[in-house]
Amino acid sequence: MNFAVNFSDINWLSVIVSALAAFVFGILWYSSLLFNKIWLKEIKLSDEEIKNSNMVMIFGTTFVLNIIGAIALDLLIGKESTFLSGLLTGLYVSVAWIATSFGINYLYTRKSFRLYLIDVFYYIVFFAVMGAILGAW
């Protein structure tokens, strides 16, 4: 297996677009339109605590981390990809690695199954969308 990373193979525009799509999706997923109230209850934070957070730092760091994830996924998907192969790779990564890792962590930290489902399905959709964008590009 070749572990050399060739950053010239990365389609930087698709990385930025897919990271931005994932970021916007996260804002929607954790908004009051979808899971905000349940999620806040499960993580035991109030609206006031969230409002007093450094949201510029949180959102900025989140976007940088999304870019890193998109770069890694783009390298994994490869240059000869399609919408479907990107989507399936995103699903594979999110189900096989992220959902299982979260599951182990949530078991040991005694977090609820409800919180697990909210967070894991966010990442499943997140990486499927990201992979589809990267694969189609």
- Predicted confidence (pLDDT) per residue in 12-34, tens digit: 999 999 999 999 999 999 999 99
Provide the angle, in degrees to the nearest 10, between the axes of the packed helices 55-77 and 12-29.
130
pTM for the model stands at 0.88
pLDDT at residue 76 is higher than 80: yes
Q: Nearest Cα to 136, choosing from 84, 96, 101?
A: 84
Sequence-distant (6+) residues with CB within 8 A of 9 are 75, 78, 79
Sequence-ordered alpha helix ranges (H) in the chain:
12-29, 36-43, 47-51, 55-77, 83-92, 100-108, 113-136
* Tokens 């000869």, residue located: 80
pLDDT band for 36, please (50, 70, 90 cuts): very high
- Predicted confidence (pLDDT) per residue in 37-60, tens digit: 999 999 999 988 988 999 999 999
Quote the pLDDT of residue 4: 65
Distance CA 52, CA 64 (A): 22
Quote the pLDDT of residue 2: 55
